[in-house]
Chain A
Amino acid sequence: MTSDAHERPVHRVGRLADFPPGTHRVVEVGKRSIGVFNIKGVLHAIPNLCPHQTGPLCESPATTGTLSATKESDWRPEWVHDGEIVICPWHGMEYHVPTGQCLAWPNIRLRTYELVVEHDVVSIRL
């Protein structure tokens, strides 16, 4: 990765209309398979590769929320991050798409790709 962000190559992956809110798609950029998500109008991109056992993470049919339980909730479950969680079809590992954070393994955080939208064209800057 070069230090000058403007020199990093930009790859067109579709039109904005191809990514309606609440949906996601897998796109191929060179040898990379990348999941592009539209969560409440904001685009996010993460690798379509679960670091657990290399499952096709973003081929999951739909994002969901997840359950959290804290002292503040008296350790009772609460539904959180609605629409922001992708669950790997292979083994069910959960990831928070906007941050790439793996929920079961705190030390794993997926890289997130920078997305560029210009004139309704969506591109990924590698």
Chain B
Amino acid sequence: MQSQAEPRANRRERLEDVLVVDTDVHVHETPGALLDYCDLPWRKALEAIKDIPERYLDIPGFSPGESIGGYQAKWPTGHSYTRMVLTREQMRLELDELHVNLAILFPDNLLKLAVLTQDEYPAALARAYNAWLVDQWCEPALGLLGAIVACPQLPEDAAREIERYADDPRIVGVYLPCAGVDPLWGHRRYDPIHRAAEAAGLPVLLHSVTVTHPVYPFNNHGFDTELGRHALSHTFSIMANLTHMVTTGVPVRFPELRIGSFEAGITWVPFLMNRLDKEYLEKRRDVPFLTERPSHYLKRYFYATQPVEEPEDLADMAKVIELFDGEDSTVFASDWPHHDFDHPMKVAQIPLAPEVRRKVLGENALRLFGIDASGRRT
């Protein structure tokens, strides 16, 4: 991965010359695609909705609820709001354009799995998705690695899924759906998932999506605009779920469990650490199992950059990373092909030391997912 030319000390390495691990890209799963992978009787439910004209991240009985501005006036735009990737070959070609070497696959529609009100049905969807993902998408030789989805409505079943894929070379993480999850991740009812992931050596990956769901921390029904809904629903969800994980003692009960945060940006990380540390001074007895300040535990976890904040002076972002000791815990993500994806060049433009830039663009993610630079699990 080294450039042929002698690198000048002050020259920024080209993206082509560094390892870029994209920790969050999205495949497009539909009811029809999952049919053959789904158990009866739930397969019948997928058959019943497979021909419904698809609306983006909004399929009744599958991914209910508008996610891209359907609660407000729709103005004409040239913005490609509904890009999707339908095959692994398409994904590989498009990731080549972004100079991405390895990518971790997340779902599209099942970002809303936690919103479904039943137990057995979302569990069947999760099993079908996981089997489809491994069969149709994951290909280490193409640099495409998968995160299986854990169904929060049926934690024991999710734990069995983690055990099923524990040693699969194509699976490198467990995705925890955050949109609408109730109770928040960290609750002891999810311990089978935490335990299985820790035992499998697989990180758990917190990822939300915009839902208008009258459950803390979304409360999106209160916003007039998609700007408000979208800006806060991802970030508040991740902040709430991480706060609950730390304050319910997940880091001490599962000390080897690696945790990653996705699609929430990173500027809130110093805020959350400082805020929780301040609360800890007064309310330590609420969390007597924590022997260190909350920030101590949060610093063990990983934070994906997308949607990376873009202050006028990008040096501010270097400062933000420094504020949470993020040199070893910040990981690049593009969120391709979604409307708010980041090209890695924007993260590469942050004025970081060359070795830190390489860590953020790729090397830190290898530790998060327990893989080597060729995508092999270590």
Give the number of residue pairs across the A-B interface with Cβ within 8 Å. 39
The reply to whether the CB of B93 lies closer than 8 angstroms to some CB of chain A is no
Q: Are B78 and A87 in contact, CB atoms less than 8 angstroms apart? A: yes
Interface string of A62-103 (1 = CB under 8 A from B): 111101000000000000000000111111100000000000
Which of B201-209, B296-304, B336-344 contacts the other chain?
B336-344
The reply to whether the CB of B80 lies closer than 8 angstroms to some CB of chain A is yes
Q: Are B79 and A89 in contact, CB atoms less than 8 angstroms apart? A: yes
Contacts of A3 in B (CB 8 A): none
Q: Are B342 and A53 in contact, CB atoms less than 8 angstroms apart? A: yes
Q: Measured between alpha carbons, how far is A68 from B340 in the docked complex, in Å?
A: 23
Number of B residues, CB within 8 Å of A = 16
85-126 of chain A: CB within 8 A of chain B: 86-92, 107
Q: Are A91 and B340 in contact, CB atoms less than 8 angstroms apart? A: yes
Interface string of B70-89 (1 = CB under 8 A from A): 00000111111100000000
The reply to whether the CB of B14 lies closer than 8 angstroms to some CB of chain A is no
The reply to whether the CB of A60 lies closer than 8 angstroms to some CB of chain B is yes
Given A53-B345, A53-B346: A87 in contact with B339 (beta carbons within 8 A): no
Choose one: A61, A67, A107; the contact of B75 (CB below 8 Å). Answer: A67
Q: Are A92 and B339 in contact, CB atoms less than 8 angstroms apart? A: yes
Number of A residues, CB within 8 Å of B = 18
Q: Measured between alpha carbons, how far is A88 from B80 in the docked complex, in Å?
A: 8
Q: Measured between alpha carbons, how far is A67 from B340 in the docked complex, in Å?
A: 21
Most buried by A among B79, B81, B340, B343: B79
Contacts of B339 in A (CB 8 A): 91-92
Q: Measured between alpha carbons, how far is A48 from B81 in the docked complex, in Å?
A: 19
The reply to whether the CB of A2 lies closer than 8 angstroms to some CB of chain B is no
The list of the 6 closest CB pairs from A to B, nearest first, reads A60-B78, A92-B79, A87-B78, A89-B80, A64-B76, A53-B343
